[in-house]
Amino acid sequence: MQFLSTPRGLRRPAAMIGALSLALALAACNGPAPEEQEQALDQAAQAAQAAASTAEATPPPPASCDASQVQGLVGQTYSDAVQTQAKEDSGASDVRVLKPNQPVTMEFIGERLNIEIDDKNVISGVRCG
């Protein structure tokens, strides 16, 4: 039985092409140069510092609503006059009346007084937010 073999002269270029291909493939797997990595890290650190300083420079406004001042309304019948007095007594800038099974948004607004009423128009709770 006779095996086909590559002539000895062709083996060397094929081996060199394979080694060169492997070297190029491995070079392509390398990440960015260390200088580029340091530059990217510096830019990220500067962006983080800028974001932190912006957050520190603009603190959230203090809540001006104090629901403890109107807790005595629980159990009373709701009316527009009661709402007006509750807004004034609590220091709220806005009042929201929450009825049973009414869909409500969940955002917190510290200056807002929420007056919860039941199906008989009786105040069941007051809270800020």
Spatial distance between the Cα atoms of 42 and 125, rounded to a whole number of angstroms: 52
CA angle (94 as vertex; 90, 95 as ends), nearest 5: 75
Stated length of the chain = 129
HSE-CB of 96 using CA atoms within 13 angstroms: 18
pLDDT of residue 59: 59
pLDDT of residue 112: 96
pLDDT at 8 over 80: no
Dmax (CA) of the chain: 111
pLDDT in tens, 71-125: 999 999 999 999 999 999 999 999 999 999 999 999 999 999 999 999 999 999 9
| Average of per-residue pLDDT values in the chain | 80
Choice between 112 and 49, residue whose per-residue pLDDT is larger:
112
Local confidence band at 38 (pLDDT 50, 70, 90 cut-offs): confident
Q: Is-above-0.85 flag for pTM? A: no
Most confident of the following: 16-20, 49-53, 100-104: 100-104
Buried-exposed string 11-45: b where 16+ CB fall within 10 A, e elsewhere: eeeeeeeeeeeeeeeeeeeeeeeeeeeeeeeeeee
Spatial distance between the Cα atoms of 7 and 25, rounded to a whole number of angstroms: 28
pLDDT of residue 126: 97
Choice between 13 and 73, residue whose per-residue pLDDT is larger:
73
